[in-house]
Every structure is written in structure tokens, then in C-alpha cells.
Amino acid sequence: MKEIIVASTNQGKIREIQAMLEDIGITIHSIKDVLGHNPDIEETGSTFVENAVIKAETVMKMVNKPVLADDSGLVVDALDGAPGIYSSRWMGEETSYDIKNQKIIDLVNASGKPRTARFVCAMALAIPGEETITIEETFEGEIYDHIEGENGFGYDPIFYYPPLHKTSATMSMEEKNEHSHRAKALKKLYKILKEK
């Protein structure tokens, strides 16, 4: 396997995946590179893993090549796990993350509950004629009391990682590749692919 299609158009995600897998000689293409568009796939799963599998297997059938899909999001304990599997669609897909991030800070502040939260990343690798491989990892931290940092995307500026005293959006790429949910999942995937 020398080529994997990533079922995403998120350039941040694609760069992270490419950086992790290039030294075992795997080329990464986005779904847009292959199909010319991002197919609208209905994520009907009730967990991150189920949604990742739906995306990976649907695209694999379209392109007949190995496809990697991930479903990831922010789980906030004070908000009963929200935004969770709805992270990208929470408050509407057109709503900016500045607004979403401030809303989460406000809700957590108002709740009076612990600020604990985690990023979850589920990955599914669908390979024609083989059983789909799934991996799930977490990145434990808390909701910060303000938005901080320019690195990363999405909820990174409000996700505080106590061991480094930084938000995910102020971490370097090296630090993220050491600690993040996606990096941990990719490390597992890397081992699996190396054995293949």
C-alpha cells in the first residue's frame, strides 16, 4: 500500500497525516484530489468510530483504493459531552469557531462544573477486500478561560493542556505530534501500516 486517500478536505488534518506517514513511503491524497469534490456523506453513527467507518467505507467503494477517514471532536464534561460527534456542526456549520469557542467558555463558566474536556479522534482505514481497521485515541485537558493561540484549527484555542501549560493552539507542531489525539491515533496507524 503506497497510497491512501484521506476522506477529508481539511488541509490541517491532511498535513498532519502526511507528515506522520511520509517516512514509510505512503503518499496521501485528499478526497478532492481524487474525486474533484467532497461527497456529502451522511454521518448517521452515534459514536466517533461509527462515523469514521461510514466515511471510510463509503469513499472506498467510490474510489476502490485504501481510504482513511477520521471523526474527531471535543467532548466537554460540563456540557454532558457536547459538542461531541456534532463538533463541526455544533451551532451551525457556518458559525465561526471564534463564536463557538466563546460560547463553550461561557457555558462552562456558567455551569460551575469542572472544566475537564478531551479531544477524541477515531480513525478508520478501509482497504478493498479487507476488514476495516479502527483506532480511537484521546487528548485529555480542560476548557481554558479565554481564547488563546493561532496554531491549529477548530477548538484548539480553548483546549488547555495542563502538562505543557498551553492551549492546543499555542503548541508547536512537534508538541502536537507528541501529545494530540490525532497524533496518538496516527502512531498506532503507522505501526499497523508498517507491519502491512
156 labeled part of a ligand binding site: yes
Contact 143, 113 (CB under 8 A): no
Fold of 3-195: Maf protein (3.90.950)
Q: Would you give the distance in Å from CA 173 to the centre of its chain?
A: 15
Average pLDDT over residues 39-51: 92
Maximum pairwise Cα distance, the chain: 50
- Point out the least confidently predicted range of 23-27, 28-32, 34-38, 188-192: 34-38
- Point out the least confidently predicted range of 48-52, 170-174, 191-195: 191-195
The residues, ordered by sequence, that sit 6+ positions from 77 with a Cβ below 8 Å of its Cβ are 113, 114, 116, 117
Mean pLDDT rounded to a whole number for the chain = 93
Residues catalogued as catalytic: 71
Q: Is the confidence at residue 108, as pLDDT, over 80? A: yes
The DSSP annotation for 60-106 comes to HHHH-S-EEEEEEEEEEGGGTT-BGGGTTTTT-TTS-HHHHHHHHHH
Look up residue 60 and give its amino acid. M
- pLDDT tens, 62-86? 999 999 999 999 999 999 999 999 9
Give me the pLDDT at residue 33, please: 86
- What is the band of 121 on the pLDDT scale with cuts at 50, 70, 90? very high
3-state secondary structure of 47: coil
For the chain, the structural domain boundaries read 3-195
Contact 148, 157 (CB under 8 A): yes
Average pLDDT over residues 34-48: 87
84 labeled part of a ligand binding site: no
Distance, CA of 153 to CA of 21 (rounded, Å): 21
Q: Which residues pair with 148 in a beta bridge?
A: none
| Helix locations, the chain, DSSP H | 11-21, 31-35, 48-63, 97-111, 173-179, 181-195
182 labeled part of a ligand binding site: yes
- What is the band of 93 on the pLDDT scale with cuts at 50, 70, 90? confident
96 labeled part of a ligand binding site: no
Quote the pTM value.
0.89
Contact 158, 141 (CB under 8 A): no
